[in-house]
Amino acid sequence: MSTTKTPKNAPASRTLRDEPPITLETIRMIAPTPNQADKISTAFALDPVDFESIRTSTEEQIGLSARALEAHLDETALRIHLDRIVNAFIRSAHGAATFYSAKVSDARRETAKLSNEYRDEDRDPVLGFDSRAARAREFAAKAGLNAFALMAAATGAIDAYETVTGTDWKPYSRSGASSRNVGRQAAEAELNAFGD
């Protein structure tokens, strides 16, 4: 009996190249809106998120860092550095928003199960099920406020990028194979310039 093993270095069926770029708009579609965030904090007695304060402080901190680097980095290096920082904020906010969306689905499913358990009035509800559904809802609420706060930080990072560079931030996207080959050939030619 022989088993076929997939080589460790085998390419994944879905690569980063297949994924659409993540934008602030992508995050806004799945993270709570300001109105939803207010409702969540009220309904679950959680501290509200001060979106504007987070956005402003993130913008200021990145701006201060950029000003400290300006004397040591050329314009292109600074722009690339800031682009990487913004991408990190965007990916973090997107991850939190995706997690929130999944937790809302879990909370709805647990609550629906609870309703089904109560459909037959002659039966006693499953012990502890109500608290499990309530915990799922509370977990989703906390995840939502986390996502909203990180979206505020991502917004501030983009604002800082645009203030420092004077250009709009564009989400990272991988180029196709042909442009990679051209880029590799150009890189090899440039590296040859460092040789004898």
Contact 162, 80 (CB under 8 A): no
> What pLDDT sits at residue 82?
96
Amino acid in position 163: T
Q: Where are the domains of the chain?
A: 49-168
Sequence-distant (≥ 6) Cβ neighbours of residue 50 within 8 angstroms: none
* Tally of CB atoms within 10 A around 59: 21
pTM given for the model: 0.74
Per-residue pLDDT of the chain (196 residues; tens, 9 = 90+): 445 555 555 454 444 456 788 999 999 999 999 999 999 999 999 999 999 999 999 999 999 999 999 999 999 999 999 999 999 999 999 999 999 999 999 999 988 876 665 544 444 455 544 588 889 999 999 999 999 999 999 999 999 999 999 999 998 765 544 445 555 666 666 666 555 5
* Nearest alpha-carbon partner for 107 in 144, 130, 135: 135
Cα-based distances in Å from 143 to 60, 94, 136, 137:
26, 12, 10, 10
Q: Write out pLDDT tens, residues 35-77.
A: 999 999 999 999 999 999 999 999 999 999 999 999 999 999 9
> What pLDDT sits at residue 131?
83
Contact 161, 83 (CB under 8 A): yes
* Nearest alpha-carbon partner for 104 in 70, 138, 154: 138
**DSSP code for 122:** T
